[in-house]
Structure 1
């Protein structure tokens, strides 16, 4: 337990208690968290228990709030190896391998990135919503590899969540992905502006839907072809940048163009015959590739504490490098180095 004490100055007279405390604490915890603490009896005004979060303050009032120690995390810590790209007191950037689920859920109660982060970060997780846990502000699919930033404090969680909510429209956030797709996109670069919603044929899948449909979500992907394979392979390495962040967005948009990701079990079923037409050696590599060929290669954002621009790159992982080689795609140097 920690008790913080403040005195109400003239300028703050007449302010609601929860608003005053949220500002006095410098954004250390959210206003909703402050409100819940006040309502739970953790605040006093003038030496008496606060009457509620909306209590109006008078000049000279002494205000106290007790900050309970963060509760133990619900996901149990697990010593899962992590590839850490950057870490400080506010956040951690990891390079997630394919096959690792980000957050515990139905069917994946443990063995996730969150379990690994709880074990790795330990006491440096200062508590988000009163629980000592990592703050997940964005996710990538289990079988997508690449860069993720995770908050370690409540203030960092709010800042990063705000940046991801803007999807880069305000210039603070940038995300770049690398994908190996079937075929050679024409034109070689372009923009896919097509709303996404749940597929009516398969509830697990997303699909391009009319803008007016009730579940339609605006989705925009910018793509650029970086390298093409031989004519026989009919595959290409594509860079994708997100203007929005919808579930399966790149996978659906590239399939919508007629160029699904190699290995994609949901959206690439229609081009399985392409693999069957390959020579035995590349065919064996493609058929053994058991995930969608998608890698979160670039991530940029502003640091929550001092607004520094942070930018990170992750090299194409070995399995995608081998896949590209099998499909005779001559990889540019900038994708094979982080």
Structure 2
């Protein structure tokens, strides 16, 4: 086995000098082994999970071609290259990213987050996040509020979920809002609109089931036995049904677990349209749609989930605040297409 480590040369198309590339030639004895396991063992200074993450993020090559599958079998004699990105800065930097601000005062900001915007920096999304935008918008008011990596963030929306969020601008506001969200106080109102496959029965009700990490896939959440997860309660009501193919649901969170609405609806047999994690299979309900409309729903590029309403008490004045966000254009367009389809027995 031969292994070399070198600093990439600085050109217009290569990483900066601080990015290190490690090259390894696979011996015959490694043939058939998982690529991530082989590279972790050959390099010695990186864990297999770290190597796997780097491969999935597009930092690996085999014989000059991109290597994106950590489980791909090793080929004897192949040259593997793994690029180590430069360390991320200890604190996020301000970036001038436009924000749709619904309300702002000395203590908080309420905004309408677009789908596709990550809330805070994390591996794979070191910048270009809501936090970077907030630092540019609020200047020196946010650093240190709630932690360096997540300044002012009280709650979060998934990258591909759109809608209303509140961010604290002072430590006092952050403590009060964080406590309100943690305690799920009655005055806290969080409602979402979700386009789900099929027609729930009953059309309105509650899903109460504990949520924890999926036993086989740690990147996913799942409904788990009591004692292995956290209690979770989602109330839902059907706003509009499109035959038996799909329904627009209004969901209200009584708790706030990771991916709660997406997990609960999938557990009930009605995954959110476009959900790449919890709606992987083509649902039987899709067969009720004409082919062009079916293709539009199956090809929707994100989970059709929108944080429509957020109500809470001002953390300093105590005033009742309530904000609404209209459906974004992509979801509104999808619903318009469904509305133009009139199946027999359609309920509205």
For the criterion TM > 0.5, the same-fold answer is yes
Figure out how many residues of one structure are paired with residues of the other and give that number.
253
1:56-67 residue pairs with structure 2 within 5 A? Answer: none
3-state SS of paired residue (1:159): helix
Classify 1:282/1:147 alpha carbon distance in 2 versus 1 (closer, same or farther; 3 Å): same
CA distance 1:329–1:220, shift in 2 (3 Å): farther
Q: Does 1:255 align with 2:272?
A: no
Which runs of no fewer than 5 residues in structure 2 stay unpaired?
Answer: 1-88, 342-348
- The 5 A counterparts of 1:131-210 are 134-168=151-185, 171-210=186-225
Q: Structure with the greater relative contact order (CA < 8 A, sep ≥ 6): 1 or 2?
A: 1
Aligned counterparts of 1:126 and 1:268: Cα–Cα separation in 2: 38
Cα offset, 1:200, TM superposition:
1.4
Alignment of 1:325 with 2:325, yes or no, is: no
**Preserved contact between residue 188 and residue 225 of structure 1 (Cα < 8 Å):** yes
Distance 1:210 1:126 in 2: 40
Instruction: Tell me by how many angstroms 1:130 deviates.
Output: 8.6
Q: Aligned to 1:229, which of 242, 246, 264?
A: 242
Any gaps of 5 or more consecutive residues in structure 1? 1-71, 331-338
- Cα–Cα, structure 1 residues 148 and 74, in superposed 2: closer, same or farther, change >3 Å? same
- Residues 235 and 329 in structure 1, CA contact (< 8 A), matched pair in contact too: no
RMSD: 2.2
Distance (Å, rounded) in 1 between the aligned partners of 2:195 and 2:222: 20
Matched with 1:109 is: 126
Shift, 1:274, TM fit: 4.5
2:310 alignment partner in structure 1: 299
Structure 2 distance, partners of 1:146, 1:279, is 30
Shift of 1:300: 0.7
Secondary structure of 1:192's counterpart equals strand
Cα deviation code 1:146-178 (max 9, x no counterpart): 01100011111111111101113xx23110000
Query: What TM-score, normalized by structure 2, do the two folds share?
Result: 0.68
State whether residues 118 and 133 of structure 1, in contact with CA within 8 Å, keep that contact through their aligned partners in structure 2: no
What secondary structure is seen at the aligned counterpart in 1 of 2:192? strand
TM-score by length of 1: 0.70
In structure 2, relative to structure 1, the CA distance for the partners of 1:126 and 1:249 (3 Å cut) is closer
CA 1:144–1:130 in structure 2 vs 1: closer, same or farther (change >3 Å)?
closer
Q: Deviations over 1:77-118 (max 9, x none)?
A: 111111111011100011000010000011110000000000
Alpha carbons 2:282, 2:298 under 8 Å: kept: no
- Whether the 8 Å contact between 2:92 and 2:149 is mirrored in structure 1 is no
C-alpha separation between the residues in 1 aligned to 2:225 and 2:148? 41
* 1:204 shift after superposition: 1.1
Within 2, Cα distance between the matches of 1:130 and 1:173?
A: 23
In 1: Cα distance, 2:294 partner to 2:262 partner:
22
